[in-house]
Amino acid sequence: METGFQHLAWRGLEVDHPETWELIRASPIGQDPEIALADRRYERLTLGWRWLQNEPNVRKLVEDARRKDGRKEVYALEAPVDGWKGVWEPIGHAGTRVHAGRYFAERHLWVEMALVWPGDRDLRVERHILDSLQPSDTTAAERLHQAMGLKVYVSRPFDLVAFEAICGQTVWTFADTASGARLPSLTVRRIALPGYWLRLPLGEWIRGQLAPRTRILREERGTHNRHEAVDVFSAHPGRLRDRLRRRRIGRHDRAWICPIENRLYHITLEREAEMVAPEGYKIECCRNEASESPRTGGHRRSA
């Protein structure tokens, strides 16, 4: 029996999932969003969503699922959460698979879900997942992105344009997707186990991340989420096009170590002007996963 839930917010969709499940796959930017979560043994949950002008024929999808591969033991979901329709079927090794879909008419958003249970269905968890799943609030001044251990609030014009999760490090990049401009841009890195590899003061470490011909403007000490933080403000010539136009790029780097998570956070904000103060984002740490609210919209802010 699962004991708690975490909140996930990713590319326009938010959902709660059991705290023992982790995000293992996400589709590239530019493709219809799809994610998969797994526990230590199974791929448990797959979600795919896309924006459609009209609701798909859910009845036909159910009938196709019943006929697929000649399967006979396929059953309609009984008393599902409002708005969801689908089927469930027994699979090998006494497991169960659930297929469901929902159309959010006010957002023209179609969501499909595949959920695998290694044994009997856990209806409490299943219904909680379905009940919590909602489109993100696109009208909010700050938009939440929460996955892969990161919890980031960004304001316009920032939107997620690239991400990667490699061994010991998660990197997200945000930029102005509406204008298509390269700047301003925001990069957030979360790096594991700094106690093992970090041998320099944070200010020196940040300076080592800067490109050649970067001019350091100033270094400041402060706090982030009550942790000691270092801010380095700098300027650099930028790309060839920037140099030909004699533009210098302002850059702000902030780094701090969260001892509760045992992670180093590094934020880089660039724009076509001297950086005077951090703006346009908020990154939270000190996540106590066991205390995450099990209701959508009730996730705790720790900043």
- Over residues 62-82, the pLDDT tens digits come to 667 666 655 567 888 876 678
Q: Are 18 and 2 in contact (CB under 8 A)?
A: yes
Same domain, 84 and 127: yes
Does residue 144 fall inside a structural domain?
A: no
Same domain, 46 and 91: yes
Can you read off the two tokens belonging to residue 42? 């199974």
Same domain, 272 and 154: yes
Same domain, 155 and 279: yes
CATH code of residue 237: 3.40.1000
Q: What is the DSSP letter of 275?
A: -
Does residue 300 fall inside a structural domain?
A: no
CATH code of residue 26: 3.40.1000.10
Q: What is the CB neighbour count within 10 angstroms for residue 197? A: 10
Does residue 37 fall inside a structural domain?
A: yes
Same domain, 72 and 186: no
Q: Tokens 């090998």, residue? A: 92
- Count structural domains, the chain: 2
Burial of 184 (C-beta count, 10 Å sphere; 0-12/13-18/19+): buried
Same domain, 159 and 273: yes
Does residue 70 fall inside a structural domain?
A: yes
Does residue 247 fall inside a structural domain?
A: yes
Q: Tokens 């970067």, residue? A: 214
Burial of 151 (C-beta count, 10 Å sphere; 0-12/13-18/19+): buried
Same domain, 162 and 118: no
Residue 139 pLDDT: 80
Residue 1 pLDDT: 47
Residue 303 pLDDT: 30
Does residue 296 fall inside a structural domain?
A: no
Same domain, 49 and 158: no
Does residue 260 fall inside a structural domain?
A: yes
* Residue 159, domain extent: 150-286
Residue 299 pLDDT: 32
What's the full length of the chain, in residues? 303
Same domain, 66 and 160: no
Last residue of a domain, one of 135, 158, 191: 135
Same domain, 89 and 196: no
Residue 269 forms beta bridges with which residues? Answer: 186, 252
Residue 277 pLDDT: 55
Residue 69 pLDDT: 54
Residue 278 pLDDT: 55
Same domain, 113 and 192: no
Residue 292 pLDDT: 39
Q: What angle do CA 146, 151, 154 make, to 5 degrees?
A: 90
Does residue 268 fall inside a structural domain?
A: yes
Last residue of a domain, one of 107, 135, 163: 135
Run means of pLDDT, 10 residues per run, the chain, 303 residues: 82 95 93 94 94 80 63 73 86 85 92 92 93 90 92 89 92 85 87 95 96 90 94 79 60 95 95 65 77 33 31
Same domain, 123 and 208: no
